[in-house]
A and B are shown apart, each in its own frame.
Chain A
């Protein structure tokens, strides 16, 4: 017995040790697990569908990025600043840009990589990709920038990408910030071409954020570049706001909580996806796919998908509830460097009672849906105005405003009503003075920011 007891003591000790180790491991893992994860939500514009009647449903699939944890080291950033130093930047603009660049560098840490490419007719790498350790050296080189000649935007971004590529891999959050105030006149310069460049860069996980200064740059080109590479877009009329913009952008970049984000939405049989509003995605049978390069902490991004529920699907045939969508998000957690996923399901029920249907309206979804439609309308107005059809452009904006107004009052949403009012004012202004460079830039920037949900919660 004695022998047995003494023998059982050892396994017990082992077990205790194992438990302690397990606890320790759990604590360690829970530090990661504690790193909050992206949550997903599927909502519909109405929770209750009419038993018959209009059966088009707007799905809002939202990704809610948590604020980044304080106690976990953020992923290093591989940032390249591409600065336009063409002649038009001379004076206050270049000074403010330099100031902003220096501000940006000061936010970076020793593990981050920084590079600076500047271009006029030539492209010059002022600071090749380098760890941000010798801050003074970097700052003094930025201060030495002088304005030069024309605008080789394509070359600048290309060189910026080349600097980023010196430190490849998923360890970094790759980002190019392009600042320009003028029309590209060396190299490919159509929005189409730069859009393709953006689309190619996103495949290397490089996002390009564009900052347009003044009213002379090509907003379509900048917007396409950003849109296709999942970067942000900013319009700064006055160079004084530049440091603020850089801070905001860098705040985003330093806050990436999910990378390489892919969302797949599946709808049940007989339900037909019609379109994706505001985002480029793929509808393949009953599957809707779209992807994003990254999610920033404390931000909500969403996709709106219109689906049609045929009459054959109703309370009788499918029971009371119908699971209308099953969404899964796959992403890389840059903090733990693991692939993670989250899923959500959306349900609707059916009712012949119109009041019940109306009562089930989800104001937030309806609002986002109409704001995105409005963004599309703004783009349409720009296209019409470009073709010289000022009247049509104004009509498009006005009818969009009217739509916002009617929906806004129907669901009594202050935000929509306010937006409608602002849009009406813009339309009036354009009607009176024509589409100014500034209004065009504002419309373009706002519509993109809306589609991309480039704002914090």
Chain B
């Protein structure tokens, strides 16, 4: 038994350990996969953010360049009219100005201009009054920004700077190259012998009234007017945000965030909290200083892999579970097979033993009689009766084994007939009276006087009662009592009750005793031979006949078997 348990334990280990290891490994791989997917999503989102930032930058740069070119292309003779038309008609142009001889020529002062134009003039007062330079010929740096008027007035290190794009610088440079090396820009000191003025233009991001304004300017002639326009930032933003594509990633939201941290636009499945640190942040360069394209991840994770991961985990669990379940089923099967094999072995040895005992008696008495040494008639009679009894026992045993085979295969046939149960019982017990007496059992037979007819298979019923009787003789003889009662069953049939005062059946075995080959394996039964078939056969027969066999512990200890005969 210990060995079996060990084998089973080994089997269990062999099955469950690999299942757990494989499952664990798969989960680990999955978590790696999750990380990989996340990294992939982050990379893709970063690229998207960069693309978006680039698109926006390009848009701004294009606008900037186109406006600059337009400014430079304005016919000097119709400067004011053209600019005014722009202001009236072009949504990108908020205000225009003409600055000649260090003085603002347009918009005019006073009522000649709209309130907006008056605000415009005062906004750039530092520039238009000549206190600040437009920056022609200065070194242009993209990283330095014009600051608010107030700051400009008080601080020396905050000059207005041009913010001409690098691209445009290159274009300008290329143009000069085209015109020949002898030509050069007069503003650059020591630049050549034939100074030719190259029309210049530029852009100033201007912070005033706590917000950003963008001023573009141009000058075509060295002494000519400086003129330009103020970009309508809202138009630029309004047009730009419609370029932001819809975000397909469910766990991410894109936000265009202005320099002051204000969310200009957002796209994505959930509202962005600007106070939250962005997970990806790409700055915009150019005329929109400190603008950024930010990407925020939702709390549930960025990669849209949740479903995939969940499914994978489920599959792994299912796989592991099926492995374990399959293993358990297999082990159960093996256990059953092993049990069967063991039972059969024990059955064969029990049956052999059972067969051997009567055979030995029969052989011994038969030899004694054959030698003719026993002369006493009485002795001879006794020997012969032993031979008969033992032969009967042998027959019963063989019958049981045969019946078991038939029952197992479902081939047992019954021949129900009407007969008197009372007479049947009396005959049976009379025939076995001597056996009972020899075993020391006192029979307490309580059956009615008169005849009681039942319809069932007489031989089968005899086998049932004999099996019970055999068990009583075998195991309960020490109780010196065997009761046999006939009672009407509550369910309508007849109960044949056999009670003894033997050791009884331990609780754990009370149902198992009806299973084939089962033997209560303890010190009490260890020395008794038995096939372990008797009760199993008895119950089957009764059930086949519409009755049942049940066990209950006796009131005074011992066992109490009730054989119910169906009607």
Contact = CB atoms under 8 A, between A and B. Distances in A.
Interface in A280-322: 280-285
Contact of A275 (B111, B264, B266): B111
Contacts of B235: 196-197, 200
B271 interface: yes
Contacts of A150: 271
B241 interface: yes
A154 B239 CA distance: 11
A203 B91 contact: yes
Given A158-B242, A162-B242, A201-B91, A193 B234 contact: yes
Contacts of B271: 120-121, 149-150, 186
B267 A197 contact: no
A163 to B, nearest CB: 9
B234 A280 contact: no
Interface string B226-256: 0000001111011101100000000000000
Contact of B91 (A121, A149, A159, A204): A204
Contact of A282 (B112, B239, B263): B112
A191 to B, nearest CB: 12
B263 A284 contact: no
B234 A121 contact: no
Chain B interface mostly? mixed
A150 B263 CA distance: 12
A155 interface: yes
Contacts of A155: 241, 265-266
Given A203-B90, A273-B111, A157 B266 contact: no
B384 to A, nearest CB: 104
B268 A122 contact: yes
A188 interface: yes
A285 B108 CA distance: 11
Given A121-B272, A282-B112, A197 B265 contact: no
Given A121-B271, A196-B233, A197-B238, A152 B115 contact: no
A284 B108 contact: yes
Contact of B266 (A186, A199, A284): A186
Interface in B268-304: 268-272
Nearest to B90: A203
Contacts of B211: 192
B138 interface: no
B113 interface: yes
A123 B264 CA distance: 12
A280 B232 CA distance: 18
Given A150-B271, A152-B266, A158-B238, A280 B115 contact: yes
B233 A283 contact: no
A161 B114 contact: no
A152 B265 contact: yes
Interface in A165-211: 186-189, 192-194, 196-197, 199-201, 203-204
B267 A200 contact: no
Nearest to A201: B91
A431 to B, nearest CB: 31
Contacts, number: 93
Given A158-B242, A159-B242, A196 B94 contact: yes
B121 to A, nearest CB: 14
Nearest to A86: B271
A200 B234 contact: yes
Contacts of A159: 241-242
B462 interface: no
B89 interface: yes
Given A122-B267, A196-B94, A203-B90, A188 B237 contact: yes
B262 interface: yes
Contact of A121 (B116, B241, B266): B266
A187 B263 CA distance: 5
B112 A157 contact: no
Interface string A410-453: 00000000000000000000000000000000000000000000
Given A196-B94, A200-B232, A200-B234, A281 B114 contact: yes
B242 A188 contact: no
Interface string A118-158: 00111100000000000000000000000001101011011
Contacts of B234: 188, 193-194, 196-197, 200
Contacts of A154: 237-238, 241, 264-265
A152 B253 CA distance: 14
A200 B92 CA distance: 7
Contacts of B114: 280-282
B67 to A, nearest CB: 14
B88 interface: yes
A125 to B, nearest CB: 9
A429 to B, nearest CB: 31
Contacts of B91: 200-201, 203-204
A436 B269 CA distance: 36
Contacts of B264: 154, 187-188
A160 to B, nearest CB: 10
A381 to B, nearest CB: 20
A199 B239 CA distance: 14
Nearest to B92: A200
Nearest to A274: B111
A188 B262 contact: yes
A267 to B, nearest CB: 13
Contact of A200 (B238, B242, B269): B238
B233 A187 contact: no
A457 B388 CA distance: 136
B419 to A, nearest CB: 85
A86 to B, nearest CB: 10
Interface string B112-147: 111110000000000000000000000000000000
Contacts of B108: 284
A186 B264 CA distance: 6
A157 to B, nearest CB: 7
Query: Taking each of A123, A155, A193, A199, which has the highest tally of chain B beta carbons within 10 Å of its own beta carbon?
Result: A155
Contacts of A187: 237, 241, 263-265
A281 B234 CA distance: 22
Contacts of B94: 196, 199-200
A162 B244 CA distance: 12
A161 B241 CA distance: 12
A285 B112 contact: yes
Contacts of B233: 196
A285 B111 CA distance: 9
Contacts of A281: 114
A271 to B, nearest CB: 14
Interface in B56-111: 88-92, 94, 108, 111
B56 to A, nearest CB: 14
Contacts of A284: 108, 112
A158 B235 CA distance: 9
A427 B235 CA distance: 39
Contacts of B270: 121, 149
Contacts of B272: 121, 186
Contacts of A121: 266, 270-272
A158 B90 CA distance: 16
B127 to A, nearest CB: 20
A150 B235 CA distance: 23
Contacts of A161: 238
26 contacts: A120-B271, A121-B266, A121-B270, A121-B272, A122-B266, A122-B269, A149-B270, A150-B271, A155-B266, A159-B241, A186-B265, A186-B266, A187-B263, A188-B264, A189-B262, A196-B233, A196-B234, A199-B116, A200-B92, A200-B94, A200-B234, A201-B91, A275-B111, A280-B114, A282-B114, A284-B108
7 shortest interchain CB distances as A-B pairs? A158-B238, A200-B91, A121-B271, A283-B111, A196-B234, A200-B235, A162-B242
Given A120-B271, A200-B92, 20 more contacts: A150-B271, A152-B266, A154-B237, A154-B241, A155-B266, A157-B238, A158-B239, A161-B238, A162-B239, A187-B265, A188-B264, A193-B234, A196-B232, A197-B235, A197-B238, A199-B94, A204-B91, A273-B111, A280-B115, A280-B116
